[in-house]
Amino acid sequence: MMLGNNGAGLLLALLTALFWGALPLAVKHLLPVMDAVTLVWLRFCVAAVWIWCAPAVRASRDPQRAAAAVPAAPAAPSRRRTWLLLAVASASLGANFVFFNSSVAYLSASACQILAQAGPVLLLLGGVFILREAFLPVQAVGVGLLLTGLLLFFNTRLGLLWGGDSDFSFGMLLGGSAALVWATYGLAQKVLLRHLTPTRILRVIYPCCALGLAPLATPADILRVDAVQLVCLIFACINTLVAYGSFTKAMSIWHAAKVSAVVATTPLFSLVLESLLHSLWPSAYPLDSVGLLSLLGACVVVLGALGIAVGPMLHLPHLPHLPRRHRR
């Protein structure tokens, strides 16, 4: 690779943060003509087709390499538990997509991404209390920073929760629910990853989400989009594929701590992109009044997310030395 692993890893991580940061902006432009459930259903349909067809195409081109990459099936005693966890993960991820996409109708894109950072906190706490994982001091600092940043970012709008602004309150409820069910999905995935690969997991989750949402979707809404909305719809559908594909590739060629650090800046990408689009199309992308305290809060949220995601990796030197073949 001409750029080298460092350059390629950085670009892939930046692409991930850019796509995740831009997603709520595309969704916001679609919600006037398409409900969130239909949009999420279509996104899962595209993802399901891709996760099943792409490996098949690669296998047809190189059967020997594809056969060597197939992992072993889980042991028989764990099958019932595995299917239960897959059901929980599917329901949680589907609910996360619906809640997050719905919240965009009531909150700004940057506010949605800032609020979504509560997900890692809930996942961390779930890992500590449910999976009995270690809780490191740097992670505790990260949690404190993230919660402080949330309060700072929403400092001018916290009174709206009790001041009669039902739209803002409902948007916050949807965003908080999205973070909660995402943490549930993350916990189920952590257990599943002990004996299943990410591809095997997503091969079940994506079709299950698409089938589960199908009765609630309204495919006819797709015919109502104009040219600009069609571009937004295509972007929303390929967003999961490009973002997660870039993230996975970056993790495979670059240090996980560096990838996590770059991806943690996703809310800042949303904030910058939202400001840019507001300057170009102020009527389509109204911008909330963001003061210096809110901007400081956004930066503090990013620092908190860094502490939660990268913190455990900073403690790796204190772990027992592993044989060289197990090092990344």
Top pLDDT among 313 and 292 is at 292
Question: Residue 77: is its pLDDT beyond 50?
Answer: no
Residue 305 CB neighbours (<10 A): 26
Amino acid 61: pLDDT: 66
Q: For residue 267, give the amino acid letter.
A: P
Q: What is the pLDDT of residue 75?
A: 46
What b/e string do you get for 160-193 counting C-beta neighbours within 10 Å, with b at 16 or more?
beeeeeeebeebbebbbbbbbbbbbbbbbbbbbe
Say whether pLDDT at 264 is over 60. Answer: yes
What's the confidence (pLDDT) of residue 209? 96
* Predicted local confidence at residue 199, as pLDDT: 85
Top pLDDT among 71 and 279 is at: 279
Q: What is the pLDDT of residue 311?
A: 72
* pLDDT: which is higher, 292 or 315: 292
**How large is the average pLDDT for residues 34-55?**
93
Q: What string of DSSP letters covers 78-128?
A: GHHHHHHHHHHHHHHHHHHHHHHHHHTTTS-HHHHHHHHTHHHHHHHHHHH
pLDDT at 167: 85
Whether residue 153 has pLDDT greater than 50 = yes
Alpha helices in 214-265 (DSSP H): 227-253, 256-263
More confident residue, 4 or 52: 52
User: H/E/C letters for each residue in 51-62?
Assistant: HHHHHHHHHHHC
* pLDDT(276) > 70: yes
Residues in the chain: 328
Chain center to CA of 138: 23
Statement: residue 179 has pLDDT above 80: yes
Choose between 209 and 260: higher pLDDT. Answer: 209
Q: Please, which pLDDT band fits residue 325 given cuts at 50, 70 and 90?
A: very low
Closest by CA to 17, choosing from 184, 259, 317, 197, is: 259
Task: Give the C-alpha distances (Å, rounded to integers) separating 41 from 16, 36, 38, 255.
Answer: 22, 8, 5, 34
Q: Name the residue with higher pLDDT: 37 or 281.
A: 37
27-41, 179-193, 243-257: range with lowest mean pLDDT: 243-257
Q: What pLDDT score was predicted for residue 247?
A: 87
Q: Percent of the chain, pLDDT > 90? A: 50
Residue 73 pLDDT: 47
Mean pLDDT of 10-27: 93
Residue 303's contacts (CB-CB under 8 Å, 6 or more residues apart) are 142, 145, 149
What is the DSSP track for 31-55?
A: TTTS-HHHHHHHHHHHHHHHHHHHH
What pLDDT score was predicted for residue 235?
96
Q: Rg of the chain over CA atoms, in angstroms? A: 20
What one-letter code names the amino acid at 133?
E
pLDDT exceeds 70 at position 148: yes
Range from 57-66, 96-105, 161-170, 244-253 that averages highest in pLDDT: 96-105
- Torsion angle (degrees, nearest 10) of CA 110, 111, 112, 118: 120
Helix (H, G, I), strand (E, B) or coil at 197: coil
Distance CA 117, CA 113 (A): 7
Q: What is the dihedral of CA 130, 200, 239, 177, to 10 degrees?
A: -30
Are 327 and 152 within 8 A, CB to CB? Answer: no
* pLDDT for 318: 45
